[in-house]
């Protein structure tokens, strides 16, 4: 009798936590990319690398009119860009990023047009250059929301809860984007990064320094005929003394044909530190697409990287990509 009771209770408990299945659509996509990088004044080693990715997607329409979808990307066999999206129609979309998310200003760090990469790409990180924005914030276990409030006007927000270790406080951001005029896109975003980081050479370096960062981004792009023009202004206010930066960028791209594009971009980082020189970067890029193959490349030049006036802080970098979509 006792055994029967246990079986019955187990079955009841299972029924209580189970949910009815809803018909869903499934899809699998993927891609592969070969990349070759190099530059002067650094040891790139073997410049060739490969990125292979497979993306699994599932979506379902609920009885209340909403749509729920899930996407998980595997890059070189490692989970990446995993998120769940709840599309609430006129009420907007809510996304929970397990991996791969970013704050609103972080996702708009440099919106100037580029056929391959931004002017500062490859010149940051270990070689000492500063990026377009300081430490956008954690990209894991975060919420992001977007809604269209009127024709041509969208509002965005993000929320990263504290984790009690590195991110001692939660971080929030918001942004607005206007596309109501043909060819014109204007965006503004502001957000805080309360992961308590220190900054060196315009980049976050320490997760235990108890410093906060506030990032602001503004950009404008305008497409006319075959040309696209862009301007970007960023400001990063760090709790680390003398670590604030301002970033200004200009870019232009030209569609030679439906398959070929070329671009030119420049960027300047102005450091709060009085002894630091302005960092200046430039890049030219080109891309060619044929069927499922895209070949793109760019050359980058940097001066006073990280605000340093040493000759070693001036360097060049290049990148070539061959991407396959399937």
Q: Cβ contacts of residue 43 below 8 Å, gap of 6+?
A: none
pTM: 0.88
Confidence (pLDDT) at 257 = 96
Average pLDDT, the chain: 88
User: Among the listed ranges 3-12, 51-60, 298-307, which one has the minimum average pLDDT value?
Assistant: 3-12
Choice between 267 and 78, residue whose per-residue pLDDT is larger: 267
Confidence (pLDDT) at 202 = 77
- Return d(Cα 97, Cα 75) in angstroms, integer: 16
- Return d(Cα 187, Cα 21) in angstroms, integer: 40
- Return d(Cα 116, Cα 321) in angstroms, integer: 9
- Return d(Cα 169, Cα 162) in angstroms, integer: 5
Give the helix, strand, coil percentages of the chain, each rounded to 5: 10, 55, 35
User: Among the listed ranges 94-103, 152-161, 172-181, 199-208, which one has the minimum average pLDDT value?
Assistant: 199-208
Indicate the pLDDT class of residue 324, thresholds 50, 70 and 90: very high
Closest CA to 86 of 28, 145, 5: 145
CA distances from 88 to 61, 72, 313 (A): 11, 21, 50
How many CA atoms lie less than 13 Å away from 311 in the CB half-sphere? 1
The owner of tokens 């605000």 is: 307
Domains by residue range for the chain, with CATH: 30-325 (2.40.160.10)
Secondary structure (3-state) at 139: coil
What average pLDDT does range 18-23 have in this prediction? 60
- Return d(Cα 232, Cα 186) in angstroms, integer: 10
Indicate the pLDDT class of residue 225, thresholds 50, 70 and 90: very high
Confidence (pLDDT) at 126 = 64
- Return d(Cα 97, Cα 80) in angstroms, integer: 10
User: From its phi and psi, is residue 304 left (phi > 0), alpha (psi between -120 and 50) or beta?
Assistant: left
């Amino acid at each position: 009798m006792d055994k029967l009771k246990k079986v019955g209770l187990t079955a009841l408990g299972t029924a209580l936590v189970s949910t009815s299945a809803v018909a869903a659509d499934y899809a699998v996509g993927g891609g592969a990319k070969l990349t070759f990088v190099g530059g002067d004044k650094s040891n790139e080693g073997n410049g060739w690398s490969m990125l292979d990715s497979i993306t699994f997607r599932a979506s379902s329409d609920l009885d209340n009119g909403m749509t729920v979808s899930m996407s998980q990307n595997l890059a070189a066999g490692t989970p990446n860009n995993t998120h769940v999206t709840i599309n609430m129609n006129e009420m907007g979309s809510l996304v929970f990023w397990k991996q791969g998310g970013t704050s609103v200003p972080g996702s708009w760090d440099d919106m100037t047009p580029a056929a391959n990469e931004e002017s500062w790409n490859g010149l940051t990180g270990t070689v000492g250059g500063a990026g377009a924005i300081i430490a956008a914030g954690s990209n894991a276990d975060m919420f992001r929301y977007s809604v269209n409030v009127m024709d041509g006007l969208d509002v965005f927000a993000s929320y990263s809860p504290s984790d009690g270790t590195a991110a001692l406080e939660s971080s929030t951001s918001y942004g607005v984007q206007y596309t109501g005029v043909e060819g014109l896109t204007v965006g503004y975003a502001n957000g805080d990064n309360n992961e308590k980081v220190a900054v060196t050479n315009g980049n976050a370096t320490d997760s235990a320094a108890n410093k906060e960062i506030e990032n602001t981004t503004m950009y404008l792009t305008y497409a006319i005929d075959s040309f696209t023009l862009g301007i970007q202004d960023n400001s990063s206010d760090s709790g680390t003394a003398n670590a604030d930066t301002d970033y200004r960028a200009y870019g232009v791209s030209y569609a030679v044909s439906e398959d070929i594009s070329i671009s030119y971009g420049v960027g300047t980082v102005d450091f709060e530190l009085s002894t630091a020189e302005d960092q200046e970067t430039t890049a030219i890029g080109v891309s060619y697409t044929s069927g499922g193959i895209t070949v793109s490349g760019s050359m980058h030049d940097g001066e006073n990287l990280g605000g340093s006036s040493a000759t070693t802080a001036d360097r060049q970098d290049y990148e070539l990509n061959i991407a396959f979509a399937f």
